[in-house]
Each structure stands twice: as structure tokens, then as C-alpha cells.
Chains A and B, each alone.
Chain A
Amino acid sequence: MELVLVGLTHRTAPVAVRERLALDSSGKAELLRSLNHSEPLVEAAILSTCNRFEVYGVASDGEQAISAIVERLANLYGGSAEEVKPYLACAQGEAVVCHLCTVAAGLDSMILGEPQVLGQVTEAYETALACSAAGPVLAALFRQAIHCGKRARSETAISERAASVSHAAVELAKQIFGSLDGRRVLLIGAGEMAELAARNLADNGAGRILVLNRSLQRAQGLAAQFGGEAFGWEALAAALCQADVVICSAAAPHAVIHPAAVRPAMAARHNRPLFLIDIAVPRNVEPEVGRLPNVYLYDIDDLKAVVQENLEQRQREVPKVEGIVAECTEEYMAWLRGLDVAATIRDLRSAAEQLCADEVDRALRRLGPINEHQERVVRMLAHNIVSKLLHTPTVRLKELAGEGEGYRSAGVLRDLFGLSANPHEEHHG
């Protein structure tokens, strides 16, 4: 019984290849079913995101299973196995566990530590369970990977701090205002980037959105999207008095916000802080404005520097996360080794013998003085009951092992007799 992995990621395959393997949920279910009927495979799961397409499997023979999966993927791709092979990465055994844990922790993502991948791993797990494609081995593997991803995010800073310009803007706004509830956002210019930042702010609780544009029509279009209000250029002074966060992205040949306009606005707003985000090039806001008290001005380079710094900080967390991945991998491998039939039989026997010895001693103490012969009879009795009781399961288990199904029964046996706790159940009840 062996774990196998065949897949392609943003590191191994260009998007032109990845898109040909993109599947909707019914396509995934179909592929899972067909994989389950491929000869050596007994379990399968698919992890599919925009950056990766990976097939996880359990089979009695690893090499055979890999070529079976490659065959399926080639069909899906619409080419020969030789055509897809250069884009595929294959792995067996412990490397598979390590890879899925790494992926779930966000180490293999395009943006280091991004959070979505954990949800995608969970989704893959649920799909595989729903299609009855994942058995105990893969189910435990995915649970362990999800556990690993959660640990990485809570114990390290791998997912902390904004990793994009628009998130950085939200983060800075929160650092100034605390909660964004009810804060007013002013968009100057109706660019795409401004829209993204405004959407992020709105998602974080920002209240009214004001849109200011040279073309009132475009302003109205954007304002309608957010349920905000649109104004023409002449309303700038009034809007500056109302807004808390201003996002500037107007295409203007020179600055449109000058200290002379901001100074009276600050007085009118009783010096409440004003956060100006200038993502336009050339800049919309004169740099002098940033020197005014209670005005916080960030231009596109400042925001990029913030993101860069945050990503570097995430990078510094990588060794810690790798440590967690190694721990989780080791935990899972220990559990997997426990599924070994011979070890399970050994553990079962020794547990039974221990129990037998304890019970006999207790009985002998209660009986009081008896002669040597009588004692031997009691011991034999206990020993024979235990041996005969265990004989059939032991033989059956060995037979099943010969058929390649032993690990399932070994797992059940361990569960029923409480031989060793399954490390994954603890965390996921």
C-alpha cells in the first residue's frame, strides 16, 4: 500500500497547460470515479485550484498507480502521456504527505502564506469523501494537512499582514481609525485599482462611498456599484471635509490636491485624521500635503514598500512553517506505519497477553493459597482463551494483507481495541 501524487502546479506548468485541466465539480466527480476504477488505485482525491491540479492516490503498487493516473490526465488533456509528462510532478510515500502539508500551509502558493488554499484543500477533501473516492488513508492525510495549515497560520506569521496593495491600504486605515465601521471613503477618479481598494474597504465595514470624477457619468456608474454618491469636480472641497479615507487615481497631468485645499478641510473636520491613498501616476496629491498635521499620505510606492516588507516578513517565517510541516508529516507517517499488518498483530497480542497476566494475578490473589498444579491450570485456562479468541482475527488479517486490503482492517482493529490513538482524530473530533 503506497501513497502517490501526480500533479502540475504553477511551478511546473504554464497557464496554457493548467487551463486544459481545469474541471468543474461534476468533471471532478467523474474523474474521481474513473480513477477509483483504475486497477491499482484504491483511494483517490483531486486538489484543483487555479495554480495547481493534483491527484492523490493510494495503491498497492506505486509505479503502476502513477502511470494509470498519468494516462487519465493525458486523456483529460487531450494528448498522449508523453505530451503531458514534462509538466507533471510525481511523488510517492512520505514526499506526498510532505507536499500536501506544504501546500496547505501556503508555502507552495504564488503569494506566500495566502489563506485561500486551506479552503481549497478542505474542499478537495470533502469532494473526495462525497464521491466515496477517499478511504481512511487519504481522509486522514487531508485532515492532517488541514491541521498543518491551521497550525502554520496560528503559530507563525506566515499569513499575517497584507500581501497586496489594496489590502495594505485597508490595514493602514485600520491602524489609523481602528474599526472602519461608518468611515466615509472618497474615490477621486474611477480607476480599476481604486475600485478594488474601495471594495476592500467596504468589505471591512466602511460606510458611505463618495465618487468624484471629471466625467460625472463615470462617477455615477461607479457610485451605483457601491450604493454611493457621485459628484463633479467642483465638490472636491466639500468632499474632503466629509471623507476619512481618500483614494486618488485620477488621470491628471498634475496634482489635483494641494495643501491649500486640505488645510481648510482639516479645520472644518475638527482635525479628525485624514488618510490619503494616492495610487495615481503622476501623483494626484502634492507631497507637501503629507506634512500637514493629522494627514497621512501614502503613494503607490509607499504601499508597495509596505507590501514588500510584509512579504519579506512572511519569508522569514518559512523555516518555522517548514518545521511544522515536518512535524505533521512525521505524525502522519507514524500513524500510517501503524496500519502495517504485522505490527498491528504484534501490538494486539502483547496487549492481550498483558491483560491476561494482570487478570490471572488478581484471580490468584483472591483464591488464596493453592498448590502449584492448580495455579498452572488457572494460567493455562486464561492463556488458551486469549489465544483461541485471537486466532481467527489474526489469520483473517494475514489473508486480507495478501489481498492488499490489510491496512483497512488493521486500522479498524486498532480503533476497536484502542491500540493506539489516531493522531488526526484528536484534532478534528
Chain B
Amino acid sequence: MVDVAFFAVASVLYLGATGLYHAAWVGRARRWRQFATWLLVAAVAVHGVGMAVRWLLAGRPPLADAFESFSFYGWMLAVGYLVLERRTRQPGLGALVVPIALVAILVASFFPKGIRPLLPVLQSPWLGVHVTVSFLAYVTFTLAFASAAGFLWVEGILKGHRPLRWRRNLPSLLSLEALGQRLALVGLILMTGSLVTGALWARVAWGVPWVWQPQQIGALVTWAVYAGYLGAWYGLGWRGRRAAWLLVAGFVAVLSTFVGADLVLPGSLHSFLWQ
């Protein structure tokens, strides 16, 4: 249970990082923003060590049950956000993204944490590949959702002539929009990868690539929403609120694929998550 201790420490660090990102958002001290970033880096590091330890203890990638899935998603989201923060140099989104990572970590903590042997059906090198690609797609879509939410918020302020007040570090509308679009594009490519690797693995494991089970349908719907978004962006010139709401819809599809399909419809082939 050493890994769970790491997980617990990381949870506290995530909580602290969430608080600091919000403080940096509301307050004006530059120093806080830096503390927030460093605290998140520390959380990711401790969490990463915890997962590595669990991998060693279990002798398989820690991607198999509900605890491991949510924990991995939270970790990837935090890592993805840190990469984004480094590239865009705009820490504003942290106040939106880091809380989502924290929620994923909290959800994970409610599931049993014991290490169980892998179901025979999951014993395959495809596990690491398929799950990693899928989660990368989910994380990218989550970041796109955060950009869209930020866009809608700033847009509302500007459109409503509401005072900007202390919100002096808001990213500009166009930068948020461009960021959301690029992330959606990358996410769609990753999601395609998720569907393809899933089908390949299914053919090996079950003999058929596609069985129309809820999570597969959810993934397909998710894929379609983002494909539709990009089609509207390039083909119809959709910009602004309409386009941003499509990204929000896409995130709802991600959530229902990731959580909903199995929660609402137990017994599906992906529902090993909930055993």
C-alpha cells in the first residue's frame, strides 16, 4: 500500500495547487502564480512515483480498475496542463483545469485501492497502448473544454460590458478560441487513435473489432462531436459562442463515455472498471 500513501500526499498537493491557482487568479501577486506551478509540479512528481510503485507492485500498468483510471486521468490532466502552461505562458487556465484534476483524484479516492490481478481478457500489451492513447485524447479534450469555458466567460464580460475589475490577466478572446480549436484538432487525432487501437485489441481479444457496446458508442459519439466542431470551424466559419458551446458539448460526451456509459449501463465489456 506504499503507492496509496504517495497518492494521499499527492491529493493534498493537488488541493494546495488548486487553492493557489485560484488565489493567483483573484490576487495580483506574481509570486503566487509561480508557487502554484511549483506545487502542481510537486503533486505530479509524487503522484507519478506512486503510480510507478504501483506498477512494480502489480507487475502490470496501473490502468486496470476504477481507482487507477481516475488517478491516471487526473495525473495526465495535470501533466497536460503544465505542458500547456509552459507553451502558452498563460497561467489563467490553471484555475479551471487544476480543479478538474482534483475532482478526478477525489473520485478515484472513493474506489477500492487494493491491487487485484488482471482479468484474463485485459492481459495484453494493448492495455497500455489503448488506455494511454484514449486518456491522452480525453485530457486534450478537457483542456479544450477549459479554453472554451474561459472563452465563454470572457466573452460574457465583454459582451455584457461588465467591468474587468481585478481580472487583469485574462487571456484574450482570440487566443482562447485559437487554443480551443488547436486542442480539439489534436484531441480528434488522438481519439481516432483510441478507436483504432481499441478495434485492433478487440479483434485480438474478442475476435471482432466492434460490438456496439456502450463505451464504444460513446467514443464514437465523442469523435463525431469533435469532427462536427472542426467541420463547422473550417467549413462553415463557425466562431465565437456557438463554436465554444460545441466544445462544451464535446466534453459532456467525453464525460459520458468515460464515466456514464458504464455507470448507467453496467454489464458492458468495459465495466471491469466498476468491479
Bound CA span A232–B232, Å: 36
- The digit string for B226-241, where 1 denotes a CB below 8 A from any CB of A, is 0000000000011111
Nearest CB to that of B29 among chain A residues? A155
Tell whether, in the assembled complex, residue A178 and residue B172 are in contact, meaning their CB atoms are under 8 Å apart.
yes
Docked-complex contact B173 and A176, CB < 8 angstroms: yes
Give CA–CA (A291, B241) in the complex, Å. Answer: 12
The answer, among B163, B166, B174, for a CB contact under 8 Å with A177, is B174
Cβ–Cβ contact B174 & A271, under 8 A: no
How many residues of chain B get a CB closer than 8 Å to chain A's CBs?
22
A271: B residues at CB distance < 8 A = 237-240
A309 to B135, CA, bound (A): 44
* Contact between chains at B239 and A175 (CB < 8 Å): no
Q: A267-B237, A270-B239, A306-B163 are in contact. Are A296 and B174 (CB under 8 A)?
A: no
Within 8 A of B (CB), among A177-199: 177-178
Q: Is there a chain B Cβ closer than 8 Å to A161's Cβ? A: yes
Which B residues from 146 to 172 make CB contacts under 8 A with A?
A: 154, 158-159, 161, 163-166, 168, 170-172
Cα–Cα, bound, A294→B28 (Å)? 29
**Can you name the residue of chain A whose Cβ is closest to the Cβ of B170?**
A175
Determine how close the nearest CB of chain B comes to the CB of A309; give it in whole angstroms: 4
Contact B161 A270 (CB under 8 A): no
Known interface pairs A161-B168, A270-B239, A294-B240; A176-B163 also in contact (CB < 8 Å): no
Interface residues on chain A, number (Cβ under 8 Å):
24
Question: Chain A, 289-328, contact with B by CB distance < 8 Å: what is the 0/1 string?
Answer: 0100110101000100110010001000000000000000
Smallest CB gap from A173: residue in B? B172
With beta carbons under 8 angstroms apart, the residue of A175, A296, A302 that contacts B164 is A175
> Which of A176, A272, A296, A306 is close to B239, meaning CB atoms less than 8 Å apart?
A272
* A275: nearest chain-B partner, CB-CB: B158
Q: A174 an interface residue at 8 Å Cβ cutoff?
A: yes
Residues of chain B within 8 A of A161, CB atoms compared: 164, 168
A residues in contact with B158, CB < 8 Å: 172, 175-176, 296
Q: Does B34 contact A (CB under 8 A)?
A: no
Say how far A11's CB is from chain B's closest CB, in angstroms: 29
Give the CA-CA distance A177 to B161 in the complex, in Å: 16
Quick check: A176 and B161 within 8 Å, CB to CB?
no
For residue A182, give the distance in angstroms from its CB to the closest CB of chain B.
12
- Interface check B113, CB cutoff 8 A: no
Say if the beta carbon of B123 comes within 8 Å of chain A: no
User: Does A273 count as interface, using CB distance less than 8 angstroms?
Assistant: yes
Q: Does B242 contact A (CB under 8 A)?
A: yes
Bound-state CA distance A174–B163 (Å) is 15
Determine the residue in chain B with the shortest Cβ distance to A299: B161
CB contact under 8 A between A178 and B161, given known A293-B242, A294-B240: no
Question: Is A336 close to B, CB under 8 A?
Answer: no
A271 to B159, CA, bound (A): 15
Would B237 and A296 count as touching, CB distance under 8 A?
Answer: no
Asked whether, in the complex, the Cβ of A305 is within 8 Å of the Cβ of B161, the reply is yes
B175: interface (CB < 8 Å): yes
In A239-277, which residues have CB < 8 Å from any B CB?
A: 267, 270-273
Given contacts A157-B28, A296-B159, contact A273 B164 (CB under 8 A): no
Instruction: Say yes or no for A94: interface residue by CB 8 A criterion.
Output: no
Find chain B residues with CB under 8 A from A160 CB. 168
Q: Which residues of B contact A313 (CB under 8 A)?
A: 165-166
Q: A172-B158, A309-B165 are in contact. Are A177 and B173 (CB under 8 A)?
A: yes
Q: In the complex, which residues of chain A have a beta carbon less than 8 angstroms from the beta carbon of B172? A: 174-178
Residue in B closest to A298 when the chains form the complex, CB atoms? B161
Residues on B with beta carbons closer than 8 Å to the beta carbon of A267: 237
Taking a contact as CB atoms under 8 Å apart, the answer to whether A302 and B161 are in contact is yes
The chain B residue with its CB closest to the CB of A162 is B164
Distance in angstroms between the alpha carbons of A273 and B170 in the assembled complex? 17
In the complex, A235 Cα to B21 Cα: how many Å? 48
A273 and B173: CB pair below 8 A?
yes
B110 to chain A, nearest CB (A): 41
A273 vs B165: C-alpha distance when bound (angstroms): 22
Q: Which of B224-260 contact A (CB under 8 A)?
A: 237-242
A225 to chain B minimum Cβ distance, whole angstroms, is 28
Chain B positions 157 through 195: 1 when the CB is less than 8 Å from some CB of chain A, otherwise 0: 011010111101011111100000000000000000000
A175, A177, A298, A309 — most chain B CB neighbours (10 Å): A175
Q: Within the assembled complex, what's the spacing in Å between the Cα atoms of A157 and B168? A: 10
Chain B neighbourhood of A176, CB < 8 A: 158, 172-174
Residue of B nearest to A306 (CB): B163
A134-173 vs B, CB cutoff 8 Å, 1 = contact: the mask equals 0000000000000000000000010011000000000010
Report B-chain residues with C-beta under 8 Å of the C-beta of A273: 173-174, 239-240
1/0 per position for A370-414, CB-CB distance to B under 8 A?
A: 000000000000000000000000000000000000000000000
Q: Assuming A157-B168, A174-B172, A177-B174, what are 7 further A-B pairs, CB within 8 angstroms?
A: A161-B168, A175-B173, A176-B172, A178-B175, A293-B242, A294-B239, A298-B161
The 9 closest A-B pairs by CB, nearest first: A178-B172, A271-B239, A309-B163, A270-B237, A294-B240, A178-B175, A302-B161, A176-B173, A293-B240
A to B CB contacts below 8 Å, 5 in the list: A160-B168, A273-B239, A273-B240, A293-B240, A302-B161
Chain A residues proximal to chain B, CB less than 8 Å: 157, 160-161, 172, 174-178, 267, 270-273, 290, 293-294, 296, 298, 302, 305-306, 309, 313
